[in-house]
Amino acid sequence: MFALMREKGTNLIDDLTSGLVNNMRFSDRNVLYPPEAEVKPGKGVLPEWFYASFKEPNGHSELDTIHMYITQEAMFEELGELMMGIALVEMKHLDKLADLIKDLGGELTRSNNTDKVKYGDTPAEAVRIAIDGELKTIAEYERITALTAALPPSDTTRYTLSLLAKLIADEQLHITLLKGWLSGDQSKL
């Protein structure tokens, strides 16, 4: 009778991975994912805005990026920990975008391929490609932030803006980590 029961529908793995990823050095610990909110269609935030970032075959969508990082991790031993750590954070980004697109009434099962993904022939080239992808991702998230901020405020716009702020903070940290690797490892240029 003293047991505190889990609410139906609570995703413990979601909570666990959020906590895990938030506490890794590959995610910005100072900026948190927004708590659950009532996100719904009809508030001006369109699911289509997120398709390019979610899994479009453009070389820098979250899905392409996960594939890029784990491939680079396998190709270049010296990048292993860095690329794998970042890839885990990108998986959480993909997960949060999937939930958002679903809540906004969008389509999650569009086809994709990894034809546009580039890997690099040396570790330094791989890192430069990764930085370029992160910059493109941030530019896209900033573009959607501006569109969302111009809408009448609602739970949906507030959640979207906070999520975008978290994604941007993580991508900025990735650039810092990748640049740090480059500057500390000139011998591999």
CB nearer Fe ion, residue 140 or residue 171: 171
Cβ atoms within 10 Å, residue 94? 18
How far apart, in whole angstroms, are the C-alpha atoms of residue 14 and residue 97? 13
Is residue 64 near Fe ion by the rule CB under 5 A? no
How far apart, in whole angstroms, are the C-alpha atoms of residue 72 and residue 121? 10
How far apart, in whole angstroms, are the C-alpha atoms of residue 17 and residue 23? 10
- Please select the residue that binds Fe ion; options are 174, 177, 178, 181, rule is CB under 5 A: 174
In the range 22-51, which residues lie near Fe ion by CB under 5 A?
A: none
How far apart, in whole angstroms, are the C-alpha atoms of residue 118 and residue 159? 33
- Please select the residue that binds Fe ion; options are 92, 93, 96, 166, rule is CB under 5 A: 93
Is residue 67 near Fe ion by the rule CB under 5 A? no
Is residue 103 near Fe ion by the rule CB under 5 A? no
Q: For residue 55, give the amino acid letter.
A: K
Is residue 90 near Fe ion by the rule CB under 5 A? yes
In the range 116-135, which residues lie near Fe ion by CB under 5 A?
A: 134
- Please select the residue that binds Fe ion; options are 156, 171, 178, 181, rule is CB under 5 A: 171
Is residue 140 near Fe ion by the rule CB under 5 A? no
For residue 135, the number of C-alpha atoms closer than 13 Å in the C-beta half-sphere is 8
Q: Footprint of Fe ion on this chain (CB under 5 A)?
A: 62, 90, 93, 134, 171, 174
